[in-house]
Amino acid sequence: MKHGFIRVAALTPKVKVADPKYNQERICELIDTAREAGAQVMVFPELCITGYTCGDLFYQEILLSEAKEALIDIASHTEKTDAILFVGLPLEYNGKLYNVAAVVCGGSILGLIPKTHIPNYNEFYERRHFAEGMKEPVPVRLDDDYIVPMGTQILFGCRQMPGLKIGVEICEDLWAPDPPGIAHAMAGATLLVNLSASDETTGKDLYRRALVSGQSARLICGYVYASAGDGESTQDVVYSGHNLIAENGTVLAESERFANESIYSEIDIQRLTEERRRMSTYGTADTAYLNAEFSLHEKRTKLTRFVDPAPFVPGKKEDRDKRCKEIFLIQAMGLKKRLEHTNCQTAVIGISGGLDSTLALLVTVKAFDLLGRDRGGIIAVTMPGFGTTDRTHENAVSLIRSLGAAFREVDIADAVRTHFRDIGQDENVHDVTYENGQARERTQILMDIANKLGGMVIGTGDMSELALGWATYNGDHMSMYGVNVSVPKTLVRHLVRWYADSCGEEELKGVLLDVLDTPVSPELLPPEEGKISQKTEDIVGPYELHDFFLYYVLRFGCTPKKIYRLAKYAFAGTYEKEEIRKWLTTFYRRFFSQQFKRSCLPDGPKVGTVAVSPRGDLRMPSDACARIWMDELERLQEDDEAEKGQDDMLDSFDKRMDALFQGFINR
C-alpha cells in the first residue's frame, strides 16, 4: 500500500459443476496461495461457488442452500487473511434468484452485488434463471448471524487507503452499452472488479482484452477481470479462464488461456487519483451509494509490474517507428504552418553536429518539402568556437550538404575575444561567462542573419534540457520557433535513428549514425587532445534518469519518495541507489531554480503527454519554493537504511520459520 500501490489478483479455480463444497475448498486453496503472494484484493469468477454452467439446477433448493453455506465458510476461512475478496454465487431474495458477487473481508461478508445486465441471446439464457439486480441496497439475511446489504450501488472503501474504492461489475455488465462501472467510477470507485464467465470463441479474447483496457482507460481506473475456466461444463461451449488486470488503458497482466492461471499485479491508486484530479472533464456524481468500509494492514507492496525505464520511448520497434514518424510529422507540420503564416521564405538554423540540431534540421527539411520549397532556403550555419572538435564540425558540414541546405560558416572566436575584452573577461578563466558568452554570440549571429534575409531562426533545444535549465538564457534558449521543445532527449536519439534507418540514403545514414555515436556536449570548453572535454551527462547526470524523473513529476505529480522507489526498481542493475538519489536531487534543484527560463519560451509544437510550455502544460511560478520536495529528498537515505533494517528482520524471521518447519518435518 506504500506509495499508493495495492496488489491485486485474478484467480480461476478448477470447479465441479453443482458441487459447492468442492468448489469452496478450491477457492480457499487459492485464497491461501494469493495471501502468500501478497495479494490484498482477490477476484474470483462469476458463480464460481456452484459453477456457472448449472443450468436448471439453479432451481434446486439444495444447491442454493449449500452455496450459501459455502460462502459463509469461505468468509470464516478469511478471518486472518489480510485481503478483500470477491466471489460469485446464486442467491435467492424475495422469491427471485440473483447472480451476485459476495464481498468478503476479515472473516465477514460486507455486501452482495447483483448482476445488472442479464444476457439472453445466442448461447446465453440467464433470464431463464436470474432477475436483474436492484440498484438501491436492500438488507438480505443469510443466516442468524448475517444481514448484509445487496444492491449495485455499493462501493467498498479502504480505511487505511482513502483513494481505494472498489466497484463491482459481473460479466455482461462490461459488454453492455451502459456498464454500471461508469456510475461506480463517477461515484468515486478507483478500482473495478469483474466476476465473469465468458465462454471462448475464435477471436473473442482480443475483443475482451480491448473491452477491459478500454474501460480502465475511459474511467481512469484499475480493472481486475477474473473469468471461469477448466471445470465448467463443455456441453455446448468452452471456458478458457482468460484473466486480465489493467490500469488506465494498460494491460498489466494477462493469463494464458485454457490454463486456469492466477495472475497478479499492482494497481497504482495514487496515480489514478492524480490523473482524475488533472482532468477537468472527468465528472463526478452525487448518486446515493452506500459506502462500505473495510480494513487492510498497511504494508509495503512489493512491485512486480513492469516499470519502463524509458517511459517516453515505446519498447517494440514497430511501435517505436510509428511513434517517431508521428512525432516527426507533428514537428514538421508545426513549422510548416509558422513559415506559411509569417510568409518567411528562409529558415536559419545553427548546426553543431550534435543530436538536437541534427533533428531540428531534418524537421526543417521536411517542412520545406511539405511546402514545396527549395531546400536552399534553409540557411544552415556552423559556428566553430573554442570547444568545437573536428568530428562534430565535419559531421555538421556533411549533414548540411547531404540534405541540400545552404551552408554558411561563421567562426565566432574573434568576435567572442573582442566581447571578452569589452567586459573584462579573462579568456583563460573557463567559467560560466566564458561558456555563455559563446552561446549568446551564436544566437546573435543566427538572429541577425535571419533579419538580413527576412527569415526565421529555428530553435534546436529539447525538453530535457529545458526541464534542467541546461540552456543559456537568451542564448540557445531563444529562437523564433522551437521544433524540439517538447521532445525529451531519450526520444531525440530514437527519432534520429529512425530517420537514419528510413531515409534510404547511405551517405546521410552514415553521418547520422556518427552523430548518434557522439557524446552529448555543448562544446564550450577547449577539447583535450582533439576530443570533446565537456560531456553534459557527467555534469547534470544521465538523461535517461532525468527523463524518467520528468515523466513522473509532470505526468503524475508523484512525490520524490515514490519516484525514487520506481527508479530503483526500473533501473536495478544499471544505477546504484546512491547515484539515483544524487541525480534526483539535482533534477529537483535545477527544475525549480530554472523555471524562469521556461516562463518565456518561444512557441513550439507539443508532441506528447508531457510538455513544459508556459502557455499550456506547465504554468508554474518562476519563484516557487522547493523546500518540501528538498526536505523529502534529504530523508531518502534514512528511509533506505530503515527499509534495509526491516528487510533484514523479515529475512531473519523467514529463515527461523523455515528451520522450525524443517525440524518439524525431520521429526
DSSP letter assigned to residue 436: H
CA–CA gap between residue 492 and residue 360 (Å, rounded) = 10
Long-range contacts of 575-584 (CB under 8 A, 24+ apart): 575/542, 575/545, 577/640, 580/545, 581/633, 581/636, 581/637, 582/541, 583/541, 583/542, 583/545, 583/546, 583/549, 584/545, 584/549, 584/560, 584/633, 584/636
Q: Which amino acid is at 97?
A: L
68 is catalytic: no
The sign one gets for the Cα dihedral 564, 567, 573, 574 is: negative
Tell me how far CA of residue 545 lies from CA of 231, 493, 588, 601, in angstroms: 48, 15, 12, 24
* H-type alpha helices, 44-127: 61-77
CA–CA gap between residue 624 and residue 401 (Å, rounded) = 46
Closest CA to 243 of 228, 255, 260: 255
Tell me how far CA of residue 276 lies from CA of 162, 540, 592, in angstroms: 15, 33, 25
* H-type alpha helices, 432-542: 432-453, 463-468, 489-502, 506-516, 536-539
Please check whether residue 168 is in contact with residue 142, taking contact to mean a CB–CB distance below 8 angstroms. no
Residue with cell 520506481: 566
Which position among 48, 54, 68, 115 bears the catalytic label?
115
46 is catalytic: yes
Helix (H) or strand (E) holding 156: strand 154-158
Q: Which amino acid is at 568?
A: K
Which position among 48, 171, 344, 558 bears the catalytic label?
171
CA–CA gap between residue 43 and residue 32 (Å, rounded) = 13
Cell digits for 109?
461478508
Residues 6+ apart with CB under 8 A from 145: none
- Kindly tell me the burial class for residue 304, based on how many C-beta atoms sit within 10 Å of its own C-beta (0-12, 13-18, 19 or more): middle
435 is catalytic: no
Which position among 46, 200, 254, 266 bears the catalytic label?
46
Q: Which amino acid is at 538?
A: D
Residue 425 dihedral angles phi and psi, to the nearest 5° = -95, 125
Number of Cβ within a 10 Å radius of residue 183: 18
Closest CA to 43 of 93, 7, 79: 7
So which residues are the catalytic ones? 46, 115, 171
